[in-house]
């Protein structure tokens, strides 16, 4: 993982993380980075001030997409080879596996609404996006989108989700509250 000075566009430091680092998400206080390792089958915690890995947690499957709840600090990790998202709790000793949430096939992109109440997951092989209630840790809706959604992001107000559909080469817009696709752009 490389630390980059955005103003100068220069690499300040490389932090060794084994296992082909893929997804990166920051803690709400932006002091910790969480990095998925699909080939290393786990997640690493990086102390950004010290610029070093401080803890790692092994996970089954293929940890890929990652997101952090902006209010609780919970870390969500998509299992590329499964139909689940792992729920991790950060603490002084590292990360603890708290549970799993069922999703569609090959979950990848993850986003959490600004209020921390809703988790969204792009399910690549299911051509859908899961809308998950964080409190109950249950999928409340599964929205059909284009073919093979992968990346996922939210509008600034957290009301709309956008997913990049790799095979159909388009972007789906999803009204989160209504739980439906509202537009498609290619």
Which tens digits make up the pLDDT trace of 59-105? 999 999 999 999 999 999 999 999 999 999 999 889 999 999 999 99
User: Would you state the pLDDT for residue 8?
Assistant: 97
Residue 156 CB neighbour total at 10 angstroms: 7
pTM of the model: 0.95
Number of alpha carbons in the 13 Å side-chain half-sphere of residue 21: 17
- What DSSP state is assigned to residue 84? E
Residues 116-141, buried b or exposed e (16+ Cβ, 10 A)?
bebbbbbbbebbbbbbbebeebebeb
SS3 124: helix
pLDDT at 126 over 90: yes
User: Would you state the pLDDT for residue 185?
Assistant: 79
pLDDT band at residue 43, thresholds of 50, 70 and 90?
very high
């Amino acid at each position: 993982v490389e630390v980059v000075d955005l103003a100068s566009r220069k690499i300040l430091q490389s932090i060794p993380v084994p296992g082909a680092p893929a997804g990166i998400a920051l803690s709400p206080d932006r002091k910790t980075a969480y990095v998925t390792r699909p080939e290393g089958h786990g997640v690493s915690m990086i102390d950004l001030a010290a610029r070093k890995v401080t803890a790692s947690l092994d996970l089954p499957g293929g940890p890929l997409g990652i997101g952090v709840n902006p209010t609780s600090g919970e870390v969500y990790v998509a299992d590329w080879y499964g139909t689940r998202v792992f729920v991790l709790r950060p603490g002084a000793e590292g990360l603890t596996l708290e549970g799993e949430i069922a999703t569609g096939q090959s979950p990848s992109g993850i986003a959490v609404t600004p209020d921390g109440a809703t988790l969204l997951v792009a399910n690549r092989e299911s051509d859908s996006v899961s809308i998950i209630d964080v409190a109950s840790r249950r999928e409340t809706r599964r929205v059909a989108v284009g073919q093979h959604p992968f990346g996922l992001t939210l509008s600034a107000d957290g009301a709309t989700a956008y997913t990049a559909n790799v095979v159909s080469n388009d972007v789906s817009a999803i009204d989160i509250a209504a739980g439906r696709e509202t537009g498609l752009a290619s």
